[in-house]
Amino acid sequence: DTLLHAIEQGVITLIGATTENPSFEVNSALLSRMQVYVLKPLEAGQIETVVHRALKKDILLKERHFKIADPDFLLQFAGGDARKALNAVEAAVSLMPESARDALITRELLERAVQHSAPIYDKGGEYHYDIISAFIKSMRGSDPDAALFWLSKMLQGGEDPKFIARRMVIFASEDIGNADPYALTLAISVFHSVEVIGLPEARINIAQGVTYLASAPKSNASYEGLGEAAGDAASFQNLPVPLHLRNAPTKLMKKEGYGKGYKYPHSYPGHFVEEHYFPEGMEPKAYYRPGEEGREKYLRERLGSLWPGRRRF
């Protein structure tokens, strides 16, 4: 914030560069006064051009006439970053004898030079949220194979396994719900196993949970219903609880009519009796609309028979 006044008055010109997403890392007031230019990863052909130019024009390389034996491996390693590609080539050349001329920079040599590339995974940055988004959407799309891939990316990048397990617990209710109620039990068990066992073994428990959640039937009916109910609850804040639904722990409350006329469902056939459970003056509404996947198909039929006027499936 200390820079804002100077920038607005034209006293200073602020120029910055960052590998982070400025939407997350730069003050929003400052960001609104700046022009952001996003640098995208280079395409494979562009990386090849940069490497070829270096081999032909670099003062240390041009006289030795090197060629890349496996350019695809180098491009995959670079991941759109020309600096990584050039550093890998330079490191590979440094492993060769000074007398080497007209030689091939082989894949084996590149692998020795780069050894192990640390995954690009910033737990507080944009890539972190992109990966978890891909992970959740793969499970939602019932693709356990893709979900395992993104899970592996997160674990290799050092993601907190508890974070992953928490998202799985949320997913079990939000995206599976009553289509398979066991999914929530399993997700909680996975979270508990992560707490008790820890990595590396807990990754097996996580993988079991991920494949089940991804393969299970899906429903977001509970999640959607909650959203609709929350909107109405905010709109009808002042409607009182009907007397027959109120608690009556004292004689005074009973005298005032609290609980009077309440129909106890277990006293009726099938443990059900039609009753008005909404606030007085509010028409009943079907917030929960179960689908036809998994266990919800049974719930859909049951609710349709209990409340035929409200649920016309």
pLDDT tens digits along 37-91: 887 888 888 888 888 888 888 766 766 777 787 888 888 888 788 888 888 888 8
- For residue 225, pLDDT over 60 is answered with yes
The CATH classification of domain 44-114, taken from the options 3.30.70, 3.10.450, 1.10.8, 3.30.420: 1.10.8
Assess contact for 215 and 268: CB atoms under 8 A: no
Which residues of the chain form CATH 1.20.272.10?
126-215
- Residue 296: which of 181, 202, 193, 135 has the closest Cα? 181
| b/e code 192-228 from CB counts within 10 Å (16+ = b) | ebbeeeeeeebbebbbebbbbbbebbbbbbbeebbee
Domain made up of 126-215: CATH architecture: Up-down Bundle (1.20)
pTM: 0.65
Q: Does domain 240-306 have CATH number 1.10.3710?
A: yes
Alpha helix (H) residue ranges in 120-240: 126-140, 144-156, 161-171, 182-197, 202-215, 221-235
Residues of the chain with CATH 1.10.8: 44-114
Region of poorest pLDDT, from 12-26, 43-57, 131-145, 274-288: 12-26
User: Average of pLDDT values for 124-141?
Assistant: 86
Closest CA to 206 of 160, 240, 246, 140: 160
Residue closest to 209 by CA, chosen among 232, 229, 230, 192: 192
Percent of the chain residues topping a pLDDT of 90: 39
Q: Start-end ranges of CATH 1.10.3710 in the chain?
A: 240-306
